[in-house]
A = this chain, B = another copy of it.
Amino acid sequence: MATLKPVRVGICGLGTVGGGTFNVLMRNADEIARRAGRPIVIEQVAMRRDNPDCDTTGVKTTSDVFEVAGNPDIDVLVELIGGYDTARELVLTAIGNGKHVVTANKALIAVHGNEIFQAAHENGVIVAFEAAVAGGIPVIKSLREGLGANRIEWLAGIINGTGNYILTHMRDEGRAFEDVLAEAQALGYAEADPTFDVEGIDAAHKLTILASIAYGVPLQFDKAYTEGISRITYDDVEQADNLGYIIKHLGISKRTESGFELRVHPTLIPKERLLANVHGVKNAIAVMGDAVGPTLYYGAGAGAEPTASAVVADLLDVARDITTDHHYRVPYLAFSGIHENDNNLPMLPMEDIVTAYYLRLLAVDRPGVLARVATILSERGISIEAIIQKEATEGELVPIILLTHRTREKHMNEAIRQLESLADIAGPVTRIRVESLDEQE
């Protein structure tokens, strides 16, 4: 074995993921070579500063990532610098030089992926990005290859560990969002500016990628609806619990007759779902295929070595496919001819999605309030599944909790506008979407 020549890798970026990739390639070199049928060697590392976790003795280093992109001794450039502009230029340069690319950069793929794949296609090179979604979980491989027999009907995932950490601790410890966020920041699970994670932008990047490879449509990050978890209160967490639900921050994409849903938002899901039992920083993605039925993939969504696990798995694929004609490779977004295919259904605007809802209203304790609320809903064809009305202390506002059946978001928006205009209702109506996600059906 290993009579084939080694695959030579240039790692750009030796931060958390770059360091992890370096260490996994070094530590498991023998097993990796037995798997690939040939060694995978680190030819060069581009880094701005030393990583104390990595022993780069004997490895060629540079501070200029573009040196790696131009190095004729390198077969595969591993882009682990993150960000948009430099990463895009670096990847396009490497592709232009005929190099294969492996990246963990979800923002880059979600926003510039169509352009990058087009360039890669023209140059006959691979661009692999398993590490861009859900860290070490092989969900891209599962979707693109393992479930290749299926029409994917929907997928839903916990694809941001920070958000799940916060929601887990809010629920388990009865704490407020801000309080847990501060703790997550102190522990290094959340950034100083947490917007990217808690407002759902990171999750929307990943969801955009998952949806494209699920349905074989171009990447459309700008069409994703994004709502964060910063307005979730412990009261909502508790009410959801009473109703048999857990609140998770999910990326959800569904195939419908008129188009695809693409949305990130807090979601009530039944407690018995496996997704509801995914705690802390872990990730999981449920995928429904027409043949296989419900499936689920679980693991670490971030971190040095979990993400490295996915980067190195991509390197193994590259090692196997490096001499293969590109017609025989797995298409970047799972399907051939995506860009020639004009039959694609659109990504639906949020007003057109259909889901169930949890509503929390603060009402003046007056006769007829509930009747007025129910009338507004029923006039828009929204039927109520459950109502909880807490007992009022005299003179105080009464919270009313409603669960509705499925309806179009547009009708719910109208209903909420009208509810908020009622004299009986104080302040804004809290609205959280509800999904049954019948993964055990």
Given contacts A136-B295, A149-B28, A306-B292, contact A440 B317 (CB under 8 A): no
CB distance A335 to B149 under 8 Å?
no
A60 at interface (Cβ–Cβ under 8 A)? no
Taken residue by residue from 4 to 29, chain A's Cβ proximity to chain B (1 for < 8 Å, 0 otherwise) reads as 10000000000000001000110110
CB distance from A269 to the nearest CB of B (A): 13
CB distance from A89 to the nearest CB of B (A): 28
Which of B216, B316, B327 contacts A34 (CB under 8 A)? B216
CB distance B274 to A147 under 8 Å?
no
CB distance B336 to A2 under 8 Å?
yes
Given contacts A320-B330, A336-B37, contact A298 B313 (CB under 8 A): no
CB distance from A217 to the nearest CB of B (A): 11
Within the assembled complex, what's the spacing in Å between the Cα atoms of A161 and B205? 36
Per assembly, the copies of the chain total 2
A272 at interface (Cβ–Cβ under 8 A)? yes
A174 at interface (Cβ–Cβ under 8 A)? no
CB distance B150 to A309 under 8 Å?
yes
Chain B residues within 8 Å of A138, by CB? 141-142, 145-147, 295
At the interface with chain B, which of A75-83, A231-239, A276-284, A373-381? A276-284
A334 at interface (Cβ–Cβ under 8 A)? yes
Chain B residues within 8 Å of A3, by CB? 327
A414 at interface (Cβ–Cβ under 8 A)? no
Which of B142, B309, B440 contacts A292 (CB under 8 A)? B309
